[in-house]
Amino acid sequence: MEKQFSRLRQLALMAGVLPLLAFAAFAQERPSSREVETQFKQGVDFFNNGRYEEALALFDGLLQGNVAHQRLTGALYMRARCAYQLGRLETAVRTLEELQQNFPRSNYVQHAHALLGMIASQKEEYLDAAVEFIWVMETGRNPALRNQASEWARAILEDYLSLSELRRLRKSYTGAKGSPLVVTALARDELAFGDREAGEKLIDDFLRASPDTPVRAELEQLRRTGGDPVATVCRIGVVLPLTGFNADAGMGVYRGIKYAHMGVGTNGHNSGAQSPPAIQLVVRDSESSMVRALKVTQDLLDDPTVVAVIGEVESSITGAIAALANAKGVPFLAPAATENGIGGLGENVFQVNADREHKGRALAEYAFNYLNARTFVTIAPQDDYGQQMADGFSAAVDSLGGEIVAQKWYYGEPQDLGRTFKAIREAAFRKAQKDSVRNSQQPHESRSPIVNREAIEVPVNNINAIFLPLHEEDIRLVATQRAYYNLQSNILGGDNWYTDDITKSKELQRYVDGAIFASDYFINLDDTRFKQFRNDFRIRMGTTPEKWEILGYDTASLLLKAMQQDARNRNQIRQALRRTGVFSGIKGEIDWRNAGNVNSKVNILQIRGAQVVKLR
């Protein structure tokens, strides 16, 4: 994952450093086979010119058949380098492990450990990266590589490891060359964020045991200042599915968060006299897994420099990690979750989207007040989404004095809802007959004629609206069946009706044209602000922002705005978020001024041909 911290930018330079170091070693070997030597040198030339696929093919050729030759260890190392440059990290790791196991005394082993550190950094396994770089410092034979590994290790220790990880590393590692770096990083964090007494004791004990250490002056300065330099660092934890079945959504949200962070930069903003806190992102991959999400969130919450967390995209996972954050007193922002109750988990949890209850209620109120609808039916999937949407809608209808004539559910894919629609028609006709009898007892009223209920061509026109809170893939199936069974009623939908499939499919438009639905997400493509945002996002991020990017951007922007109000710790940030009021995001307004810390702003939208327009 690409990072914004300037100190680790030098890690990328390793792609250039190691090939040069390796090639210098190659030149010292005496070739015994002209063919092998020629092929190997050509591979190195291809690599240094960025032609990694061609270089990889040549090194693979040198490794075929397990034939021993003078370039065997070099070919293994360079094969790993090529795989790394091509993003084939597992191939690189397997090749490096083969090199270490079979040729433990090779000069390339030190370079192999350095490359393994690079790979671990790219995979965000920073503790493993630190161990690899420290190994090079301790045992590497190349002075230039040892010095460079020291810089890489220092960057990892100071900017990427949590307090708990530094503590574990200190307990398990006692090497003479790496210990000064580990002790310095741990002492700084202990003094600033952890146990001040433990930090002071760590410094005193280390200086007593190693009075001539090169970091003596730095440790003594930390002892005097109490770690103040690091106290200005504020980290935002980000937990998203960057791999797995939700990776597309997770990467989209991450791009939006990253773009918002780029706008603030690592120096933040502060109107006071003190130096502003550096704002850094600490990104963790949940791998689309509940267990993994809980683990990485717990690690973030144990780091006192993490002042807030943003995550996830799946409502169930979001709720679980939000509960962890709330218990630890860490502000948590949910960028995508819509499930009821997440914002109500505690005072530290903020739900950026409106929940299903808010959306169902808003739609019912609009239908009652603006469409003059009084009679309703609902058809919904029998799952959490359908249940919560229908419950919120029905509760609002009841409170307003409307009538739910029929409420139907379906399981799985709604290929054939014939029995459901026939039951709705029957209920509507029974209601019409009862109304007719009641009306016939009134003066100047005539009784409605008896109709053939089995005839599909006879329309049902005494149901004012049908509420269809459907999953996106179910809309086409249910909408066409509604038309077939001749229900002449307003169509009401949930937030999943905001989909490209509806606005792009002329065939589907004939069945859904005029449908009204509730969503807290709405983009006016002609809006000047959105156009500017989209164009700049394309330039800086290399892609067009879609819904997931916008959700990530709005969430991070809201949090960063709170942090810019001189909020430096978890409590201050929570209070600043509560004071936000109405925040105008790209996706729409966000308002947490309610008991549940849930966005209460809901748009009422309508499908008109190939467009979605805002009604209110």
Alpha helix stretches (DSSP H) within 518-578: 528-541, 547-563, 570-578
Of 16-20, 53-57, 200-204, 232-236, the least confident: 16-20
Q: What is the pLDDT of residues 110-145, one digit of tens each?
A: 999 999 999 998 887 889 999 999 999 988 888 888
Q: How would residue 290 be classed by pLDDT, with cut points 50, 70 and 90?
A: very high
Residue linked to tokens 């050509």: 42
How far apart, in whole angstroms, are the C-alpha atoms of residue 265 and residue 189? 23
Tokens found for residue 375: 């009679």
> What pLDDT sits at residue 264?
56
β-pairing verdict for 603-608 and 516-519: antiparallel
pLDDT tens for 532-575 read 999 999 988 888 999 999 999 999 999 998 888 777 788 889 88
Residue 80 above 90 pLDDT?
A: yes
The pLDDT of 266-276, averaged and rounded, is: 36
Is the pLDDT reported for residue 310 higher than 60?
yes
- Bridge partners (DSSP) of residue 516 are 492, 606
Short-list 468, 438, 490, CA closest to 615: 490
What is the torsional sign of CA 59, 60, 61, 65? positive
C-alpha triplet 318, 320, 322: angle, nearest 5° = 65
| Residue 191 near residue 227 (C-beta atoms within 8 A) | yes
Q: Where in the chain is the domain with CATH 3.40.50.2300?
A: 232-353+527-597, 357-519
Give the residues across from 406 on adjacent strands. 377
- CB crowding 71-106: b at 16 or more within 10 Å, else e: bbbbbbbbbbbbbbbeebbebbbebbeebbeebeeb
Specify the length of the chain in residues. 616
Ordered alpha helix ranges (H), 401-527: 418-440, 475-484, 500-504, 506-512
Q: Tell me which amino acid residue 602 is.
A: V
Q: What is the pLDDT of residue 275?
A: 39
pLDDT at residue 453 in the model: 56
- What band does 194 get if pLDDT is binned at 50, 70 and 90? low
With H, G, I as helix, E, B as strand and everything else as coil, classify residue 601. Answer: coil
Quote the pLDDT of residue 6.
39
pLDDT, the chain, mean: 84
Residue 64 region by backbone torsions, left for phi larger than 0, else alpha for psi between -120 and 50, else beta: beta
Region 65-79: mean pLDDT is: 85
CA distances in angstroms from 280 to 232, 261, 269, listed in the order given: 11, 8, 13
pLDDT higher than 90, residue 193: no
- Whole-number Å distance between alpha carbons of 114 and 134: 9
Residue tagged 């190349």 (tokens): 142
| Cα separation of the two ends of the chain | 40
CATH architecture of 357-519: 3-Layer(aba) Sandwich (3.40)
Give the class (CATH, top level) of 6-161. Answer: mainly alpha
What pLDDT does 29 receive? 43
Q: pLDDT for 444-457, tens place per residue?
A: 544 555 555 566 77
Q: Quickly state the pLDDT bin for 268 (edges 50, 70, 90).
A: very low
CB neighbours of 552 closer than 8 A, spacing ≥ 6?
252, 253, 254, 255, 256, 257, 258, 259, 260, 310, 335
Instruction: Give the model's pLDDT for residue 454.
Output: 62
Q: How confident is the model at residue 26 (pLDDT cuts 50, 70, 90)?
A: very low
Q: What is the pLDDT of residue 153?
A: 87
Residues of the chain with CATH 1.25.40.10: 6-161
Model pLDDT, residue 69? 82
Q: List all residues 6 or more positions away from 398 whose beta carbon is below 8 Å from its beta carbon.
A: 404
State the pLDDT at residue 121.
Answer: 85
Q: Check pLDDT > 90 for residue 270.
A: no
Q: Are 117 and 152 in contact (CB under 8 A)?
A: yes
- CATH of region 232-353+527-597: 3.40.50.2300
Question: The sheet that has 306-311: what strands, in order across it?
Answer: 278-285, 233-240, 306-311, 332-334, 349-351
What pTM value is reported for the model?
A: 0.61
Q: Is 148 helix (H, G, I), strand (E, B) or coil?
A: helix
Res 436: pLDDT: 73
